[in-house]
Amino acid sequence: MRSNRLESEPGPSRLASPLALEVDGLSVDFSSHEGNKRVVDGVSYAIARGQTLGVVGESGCGKSMTALALLGLVPKQGCVTGRISVSGQGLSEIAIDEWPEIRGKRIAMVFQEPMTALNPAMRIGDQIAEVLHLHEGLSWKEARERAVEELRLVGIPSPAERANAYPHQLSGGMRQRVVIAMALACRPDVLIADEPTTALDVTIQAQILELMQRLQDEIGMAVQFISHNLAVVSEIADDVIVMYAGQIVERASADELFSNPLHPYTQGLIATLPKIENRQDELPVIPGMVPRLDGTLKGCRFAGRCVKADSECHALIPVLRSISPGHDVACHKVRP
Amino acid sequence: MIVFLLRRLLGMAVVLLVMSFVVYGLIGLMPGDPIDLMVLSNPGMTAADADRLRALHGLDQPLIARYWRWLIAALNGDFGFSRVYARPVLDIVGPALWQTTKLVALTLAISSILAIALGIRSAIRPGGKFDTLISFVSFAGISIPSFWLALILILAFAVGLGWLPASGMGRPGEGGFWDSARYLILPVATLVIANLGGVTRYARSSMIETLRMDFIRTARAKGAREPRVVLRHAFPNALTSVITVIGVNFGTLFSGALITETMFAQRGLGKTIYDAILGNDFNLALVALLFATFATLIGNLLADIAYAWLDPRISVT
């Protein structure tokens, strides 16, 4: 077993392809009697090993659907197009019954709600052991022993006893640690964290973020960190993409994005952050709503809410282009 | 667990005590007593004879005093005599209880297993072909009156094909196991069909609800394949609410299988209670009702134990 594991540890074979995750032209469509809805529209990005990509945007911008597409878990009615590859292996062509071998082993996910993400009728040790049993061919006994190790790794005190606990016997922060242990048990290439700290209170949030960063240093996986919380993203991400209505509107390194936001939507998002030094009576908001994505919309999807929008913005779709090295923006009003 | 059981058993004793008083009181409030019946059937009896008989049997005393006497006797194991059968009540209720237990246990076992299997299969693809078919059959099963169903089954399997006896219970001590089992097939089939629809609908909706939960998505994200997701993750969580329905059915069937028992001439508990009330056989009605109550309570207790066993969030201490 041990030798098996060593081979899947970061080694020369994996370093040959430094990009852990490549997504190219990913789209997710839902067709209903009301017509076609494109909830993710031509999204492309890549994450290198050991790097963290922050994905920000408001609710319904397609960030969670992107994550589900990476796991092949888009609901049946949805249609996924585009290319996804993990450490050089393309996932777009694989058959439906091969997906379970990818999930949890190559790409793993941490969900938003630790309260409901765990099976209430199963001991947490067994839930972690299940991943190891499924993917690493361990017997249940071996898998349970490994599960205790994983619980220790995520900082759960007296892990051997806690492995026998049921989820309801743990606090929210502890449960999220269990979810993380489960996701990382097989040392995946890519970890998708979908709002992993949103449901936790602030002190626990910091602990969980710290834990994730420590484990990333140890395991070396790429992390796609989805959040609407800009403060958290600025802290944990190397690069950031900003999504709006299913499209990427801006991409830059975290430092660049927060010091020099170029897209009006990004600027609006950053402006809505409350600042402690200047007391505000009212928090700024971005007026308007996310448009319906039924294909009738022409031009920039943000134009309806944008103060800078003119006739060009309503007529032509802006493409994502490089404004300065490593900083891409999809906006007619931003010129290099 | 032992504390839980002791507390529940104590609670059951209290319920039975209260029930016995209520039933005794209700029967006492009914117009007419056994002596009135004797007067009616024997024109030679005078009013003075009747009063003497009442005093002899203690029927001239107030209700509470009579109840107290009955209770003391019952606690000493003497449940009195049946007026109609002229035999100790327990001799009548005992076999009836055993007959109904066989009927109910078989019905519940078969219908629960079938309903859960069909419910799970339906829930995997709600609105699919299988689900639509099972929904139709379930509603048909719920809607068909059991006396009609019993008649159709008798017509088909007893009269038409001649495979099974139309009614009765076989003579005790005669014939083998198979012989007495043959008499149970049609009544059990009737009760299973009548029961199946409801439990299947329940299992289906509970399963659909569970399959939408977050931890199911987690299980899939782990790389668990669909059969494992459904059977290992969703099923135990969906089962708890199905157990409740089965527990309730247990009680209802015990006293409520009257129509089926009548159609197939099965001397079960429901039929015994019904006949006893019609025949002014108070002692028998009282004791049979108490046994039916007891069975219902046992059903609930079993459901609660199963519940706690399935769902670790429910503790039985």
Please say whether the beta carbons of A298 and A314 come within 8 A.
Answer: yes
Contacts of A44 (CB under 8 A, 6+ apart): A23, A24, A25, A26, A82, A248
For residue A41, which of A57, A63, A25 has the smallest C-alpha distance?
A25
The DSSP code sequence of A173-239 is HHHHHHHHHHHHTT--SEEEEESTTTTS-HHHHHHHHHHHHHHHHHH--EEEEE-S-HHHHHHH-SE
As beta bridge partners, residue A109 has A192
Measure B245 CA to nearest chain A CA, in Å.
20
* Residue A109 near chain B (CB below 8 Å): yes
pLDDT of residue A15: 45
Preferred mutation among B215, B230, B232, B243 to probe A, highest tally of A CBs within 10 A: B215
Beta-strand relationship, A35-48 and A19-32? antiparallel
pLDDT of residue B190: 85
> Cβ–Cβ of A120/B225 closer than 8 Å?
no
> Cβ–Cβ of B222/A113 closer than 8 Å?
no
Measure A17 CA to nearest chain B CA, in Å.
24
Residues from chain B contacting residue A119 (CB–CB below 8 Å):
215, 218-219, 233, 237
Three-class SS of residue A82? strand
Cβ atoms within 10 Å of A295's Cβ, excluding its own: 11
Phi, psi of B94 (to 5 degrees): -55, -60
Smallest Cβ–Cβ distance between A118 and the set B215, B220, B310 belongs to: B215
Cβ atoms within 10 Å of A99's Cβ, excluding its own: 17
pLDDT of residue A2: 36
* Residue B220 near chain A (CB below 8 Å): yes
Residue A132 pLDDT grade (very low, low, confident, very high; cuts 50, 70, 90): very high
Q: Which residue has the tokens 């009003």?
A: A333
State pLDDT tens for residues A298-310.
788 888 888 888 8
Contacts of B26 (CB under 8 A, 6+ apart): none
* Residue A181 near chain B (CB below 8 Å): no
* Residue B310 near chain A (CB below 8 Å): yes
Measure B311 CA to nearest chain A CA, in Å.
6
Three-class SS of residue B289? helix
Cβ atoms within 10 Å of A67's Cβ, excluding its own: 23
More confident residue, B244 or A118: A118
Please say whether the beta carbons of A179 and A109 come within 8 A.
Answer: no
Name the B residues in 253-282 with CB < 8 Å from any A CB: none
* Residue A199 near chain B (CB below 8 Å): no
pLDDT of residue B316: 60
Token pair in block for residue B113: 């297993």
> Cβ–Cβ of A119/B224 closer than 8 Å?
no
Smallest Cβ–Cβ distance between B222 and the set A97, A168, A182 belongs to: A182
> Cβ–Cβ of B311/A121 closer than 8 Å?
yes
What residue ranges of chain B have pLDDT lower than 50?
none
Q: What is the pTM of this model?
A: 0.79
- Region of A201 please: left (phi>0), alpha (psi -120 to 50) or beta: beta
Residues from chain B contacting residue A116 (CB–CB below 8 Å):
213-215
* Residue A118 near chain B (CB below 8 Å): yes
The DSSP code sequence of B150-205 is HHHHIIIIIIIS--S-SS----TTSS-HHHHHHHHHHHHHHHHHHHHHHHHHHHHH
Query: Domain map of chain B by residue range?
Result: 2-75, 89-310
Order of all β-strands in the sheet with A89-90: A35-48, A19-32, A78-86, A89-90
pLDDT of residue B176: 64
How far apart are alpha carbons A120 and A319 in whole angstroms?
46
Residues from chain B contacting residue A166 (CB–CB below 8 Å):
312-313
How far apart are alpha carbons B83 and B80 in whole angstroms?
9
Smallest Cβ–Cβ distance between A130 and the set B220, B224, B236 belongs to: B224
How far apart are alpha carbons A137 and A122 in whole angstroms?
20
More confident residue, A238 or B244: A238
Model confidence at A47: pLDDT above 90: yes
Cβ atoms within 10 Å of A252's Cβ, excluding its own: 25
How far apart are alpha carbons B313 and B301 in whole angstroms?
18
pLDDT of residue A333: 85
Name the A residues in 67-106 with CB < 8 Å from any B CB: 71, 73, 97, 100-105
Nearest-by-CA chain B residue for A113? B214
pLDDT of residue A17: 45
pLDDT of residue B42: 73
Residue A126 pLDDT grade (very low, low, confident, very high; cuts 50, 70, 90): very high
In this structure, whether the domain defined by A2-237 belongs to CATH 1.10.3470.10 is answered with no
Three-class SS of residue A86? strand
Measure B270 CA to nearest chain A CA, in Å.
38
For residue A195, which of A57, A290, A44 has the smallest C-alpha distance?
A57
Query: Domain map of chain A by residue range?
Result: 2-237, 255-336
* Residue A131 near chain B (CB below 8 Å): yes
More confident residue, A236 or B248: A236
Residues from chain A contacting residue B312 (CB–CB below 8 Å):
120-121, 166, 168
Smallest Cβ–Cβ distance between B214 and the set A71, A105, A116 belongs to: A116
Three-class SS of residue B15? helix
Domain B89-310 in this protein, CATH class: mainly alpha
Residues from chain A contacting residue B237 (CB–CB below 8 Å):
119-121
Please say whether the beta carbons of B239 and B116 come within 8 A.
Answer: yes
Residues from chain A contacting residue B223 (CB–CB below 8 Å):
100-105, 131, 134-135
Model confidence at A239: pLDDT above 90: yes
> Cβ–Cβ of A116/B311 closer than 8 Å?
no
> Cβ–Cβ of B312/A113 closer than 8 Å?
no
> Cβ–Cβ of B215/A71 closer than 8 Å?
no
How far apart are alpha carbons B146 and B150 in whole angstroms?
6
Residue A241 pLDDT grade (very low, low, confident, very high; cuts 50, 70, 90): very high
State pLDDT tens for residues A274-320.
776 666 677 777 877 777 766 667 788 888 888 888 888 888 888 88
* Residue A179 near chain B (CB below 8 Å): yes
Nearest-by-CA chain A residue for B309? A121
In B126-139, which positions are buried (b, 16+ CB within 10 angstroms) versus exposed (e)?
Answer: eeeeebeebbeebe
* Residue A302 near chain B (CB below 8 Å): no
- For the ranges A132-136, A212-216, A227-231, B259-263, the lowest mean pLDDT is seen at B259-263
* Whether the complex's predicted ipTM surpasses the cut of 0.85: no
Angle at A181 between CA A176 and CA A182, to 5 degrees: 95
